[in-house]
Amino acid sequence: MAYKVVCYINQFFAGMGGEEAAHQEPFAKREPLGPAMQINFLLGDEAEVVGTVVCGDSYYGENIEIARERCLELIKGFSPDLLIAGPAFNAGRYGVACGDICVTAGEILGIPTVTGMYYENPGVELYSNKTFIVKTADSARGMKDALQNITTLSLKLLKGQKLRPAEEEGYFHRGIRKNFFYEENGAKRAVDMLLKKLKGELFKTEYEMPTFKKITPAKPVKDIKNATIALVSSGGVVPKGNPDRIRVSSAESYGKYDISGIDDLSPEIFESIHGGYDRVWANKDPDVVLPVDVMRQLEKEGVFGKLYDYVYTTTGTGTSVANAERFGKEIGEDLKKAGVDAVILTST
Amino acid sequence: MTREIEASADIPVVQIATIVPIMLTVGANRIVPGIAIPHPVGAPDKGDEVDKAIRREVLERALKAIQTEIKEQTIFNK
């Protein structure tokens, strides 16, 4: 029996019109529409497009939760083995809709999902680690290649075939590394890479470093005498016994601890659980990492207004960038609500 | 973490740590170099008094950093 594939497309590719039809509400047809016709042809005998779900790009973008739910219901109605969305090329709203419905269908229906986008489509950054996004040209002029690559990858996924690295398969890296044995050992490969680099030749790293965003600096504190300042730390100083069981490395959580009334972090009440540095000094006096004692003194002297009643701490060793960003975002929102004016963050 | 706190709370965040290039890479805007990795805000190996004096100096520099208008990533050295 052939595998069942459902396609998701927008109002434009369904032949309904451009912006004037972009508020089209979701509906489904029991047949391939638009690019799904070519997909159906390319899938050959092994798989069949059993239905197409259509939704206007503006409708999806402006009602994302309702649109997601309704499209998912329509897709589910076909009990597909795989979902193909788009391709969206460089269309931003369409890219977000394709990525969002792919991730949702993958998570809830447990099926593989494939879409296609141009590398600058914002959908790539948002969804490339949660679905397969095939690299396409920036416009529908690249439709032929896009559909060919999408169906080739889809058939592999349907048949459970082993995938080669993302770059060779033609989709955006999902941030997944797989273990396998090389013929040559690491030392030889590293030296080969270094020699290529010295010669100015292209070389491919085996461990890509994450790229970090930069942000515009926040405005400075104007009235320090009335400012509330919070202490945050990735140095792993927590109340003795680590009540929230924060991991010693690769942290997946942070703690928020009341320090009101505490003038000094003594080793009787606080300790360091950080797994990435020698904790001897920090365990003799946790203030060398989380400086509550001197901050309290400066507060009493009136150098600044108030030391915020809570500290936030985690361990910053082996902690994933995604988790660290999430901690920061949550802590920032909490501090904003509390009316804190500035943060001193210590790291080891 | 530093960058995301600054972005979501829209308040200045000064980071004190020892490896300055890492702070530059992760996007900290106000940077105060720390004393050592296991004790960024202190010098416990030099005795209590010196330890506290150094901690105070580093924190005063951090307080100066959050009151300073900056346009780009800035390192506040002694």
Asked if the model's pLDDT at residue A209 lies above 80, the reply is no
Give the HSE-up count for residue A301: Cα atoms under 13 Å, Cβ half-sphere: 9
Average pLDDT over residues A25-42: 97
Predicted confidence (pLDDT) per residue in B52-64, tens digit: 999 999 999 999 9
Q: A3-9 and A47-54 as β-strands: parallel, antiparallel, unpaired?
A: parallel
Chain B positions in Cβ-Cβ contact with residue A255 (cut-off 8 Å): none
Q: Could you tell me if B20 lies within 8 Å of chain A, comparing CB atoms?
A: no
Above 0.85 for ipTM, yes or no? yes
What is the number of structural domains in chain B?
1
Question: How many angstroms separate the CA of residue A202 from the nearest CA in chain B?
Answer: 24
d(CA A227, CA A341): 6
Q: Could you tell me if B27 lies within 8 Å of chain A, comparing CB atoms?
A: yes
Chain B positions in Cβ-Cβ contact with residue A294 (cut-off 8 Å): 41, 52, 55-56, 59
Of B11, B18, B38, the CB nearest to A342: B11
DSSP state string for A25-81: PPEEESS--THHHHHHHHHTTTEEEEEEEE--HHHHHHTHHHHHHHHHHHHHTT--S
Q: What is the mean pLDDT of chain A?
A: 95
pLDDT at A26: 97
Of A85, A81, A75, A77, nearest to A47 by C-alpha is A81
Q: Which helix (H) or strand (E) holds B23?
A: helix B20-26
Give the residue from chain A lying closest to B53, CA to CA.
A294
Domains in chain A (CATH in brackets) are 3-169 (3.40.50.2300), 224-346 (no CATH)
Of A234, A295, A336, the CB nearest to B59: A295
Maximum Cα interatomic distance, chain B, rounded to a whole number of Å: 39
Predicted confidence (pLDDT) per residue in A11-31, tens digit: 999 999 988 899 999 999 999
Contact, A239 vs A270, CB < 8 A? yes
Give the residue from chain A lying closest to B68, CA to CA.
A220
CB contact under 8 A, A336 and B11: yes
Count residue pairs from A and B with Cβ separation < 8 A: 190
Radius of gyration over every alpha carbon of chain A, rounded to an integer in angstroms: 26
CB contact under 8 A, A219 and B12: yes
Chain A positions in Cβ-Cβ contact with residue B56 (cut-off 8 Å): 294, 297-298
Question: How many angstroms separate the CA of residue A315 from the nearest CA in chain B?
Answer: 11
| Number of residues that this document lists for chain A | 348
Predicted confidence (pLDDT) per residue in A230-241, tens digit: 999 999 999 999
**Domain span including residue B9:** 2-75
Q: A237-239 and A132-135 as β-strands: parallel, antiparallel, unpaired?
A: unpaired
Chain A positions in Cβ-Cβ contact with residue B15 (cut-off 8 Å): 345-347
Average pLDDT over residues A35-52: 96
Asked if the model's pLDDT at residue A314 lies above 70, the reply is yes
